[in-house]
Amino acid sequence: MPQPLSPSEVFHALVRGVCDRKWDDLPGLYAEQTNVVHPLDPFRAPPLLTREQLHEHFAGGDEVLGDARFEPANITIHETADPEVIIAEFEYRGTVPGSGEPFALPGIFVMRVRDGQIVSSRDYVDHLGLARALGRTDGLITALDDAPPVVAHRPHGQPARKTEKTA
């Protein structure tokens, strides 16, 4: 039986797969039940909790990225005291479609990989920088103005805390 991929190998497969637009392959890097959050998403989308939800998420990749092409770069992987958990710092570097101007989108992923599959990940990516590189900041602002208020999401399994409203 082959050895499962290490957390570092899974991270590299993930960012390389995004750059190569292997949308159908990427969900296979995740466990069937997972917990993937994007804390910097301006719309605060809810966590992705299943491989099927990840398949739907990645299926929209071409529409989101359009003609943009980029590569993973400046990768630093920090191992932690927990052998399942890594913190990966990186950039997606590319060129702006049309102008050819270079861009770099910083990111940090905090991933838990068990038996070669991602069971949880907090993906901090510069969504605003991507909108800027794609020339979509006006559309993003309009969409944010039209969106419902941001709702805080609790980490999976964490009970809600009672808070007191202040005027």
Instruction: Sketch the domain layout of the chain as residue ranges.
Output: 7-146
Residue 155's pLDDT is 53
What does the DSSP 8-state code read for residue 31? Answer: -
Residue 100: the pLDDT is 87
Distance CA 140, CA 59 (A): 20
* pTM summary value: 0.85
Higher pLDDT, 158 or 76: 76
Q: Which CATH class is domain 7-146?
A: alpha beta
What are the DSSP E strand ranges found in 12-133? 33-37, 48-50, 69-79, 85-95, 102-114, 117-125
Mean pLDDT of the chain: 88
SS3 137: helix
Question: Among 30, 81, 74, which residue's Cα sits nearest to residue 56?
Answer: 30
